[in-house]
Structure 1
Amino acid sequence: MVVVDGTGVPIGLHVASAHPHDRTLAEATVRTMRVPRRRGRSSTRPNELVADKAYDSAALRNDLRRRGITPTMPSRERRNRQRPTRGRPLRTGARYQHRWKVERCVAWMDNDRRLVVRSDRYLHSSRAFCLVAIMLWCVDRILK
């Protein structure tokens, strides 16, 4: 799982097995992010977190609000909730329109076969290859 800033540069990374659901890994991923500032050390708390509806849970929303982070994610339709009418846009905020930057970063990482087909036995070696790929991508963006 990766967290990116507004320009699509990764600021947090969490590598885990494929078995747990995304909602259970979201908390650990949020703890890994470092938001750069102009001065001083980086912050661990962005203003807003934009995610897709796979991350929708009351526990995650409450945890983010407790940390001072505004959650922006569409809600999953549940049977006990009133369903929105078809054709009506999701009310998630104007910032959700920029979620394509996250998808672009994930698609870029999918270009590396070693990251897509994780054949490493240990999570720490898989995480190391993700970090190397991110560093190479950032250096490539700087040099362009």
Structure 2
Amino acid sequence: MQNHQPTYFKIFHDLSDGEWEFIRSLPPPRAKTGRPRADDRKTINGILYVLVTGCRWMDMLARCGSYKTCWRRLKRWSEEGV
């Protein structure tokens, strides 16, 4: 007889409008020149999705944008103390 562990799924919800209003000023402002930056709200949703669910960056939801962008943004913001 096998001992099966229960499987728990962590549910993720995108940031609500109220949550976004609360944190929207935390990321540094966008540069005035150069390539336009990926949407901060989508990027933060992607970062939170990976942190909440524990999935690999490559497996994050496509609606959150590029996993590489999310990973780089988290790394940069962490180094900057955001």
Q: Same fold (TM over 0.5)?
A: no
Of the two structures, which has the highest relative contact order with CA contacts closer than 8 Å and spacing of 6 or more? Answer: 2
Query: Which has the greater radius of gyration?
Result: 1
> What TM-score do you get using the length of structure 2 for normalisation?
0.26
Which protein is richer in strand relative to its size? 1
* TM-score normalised per structure 1: 0.16
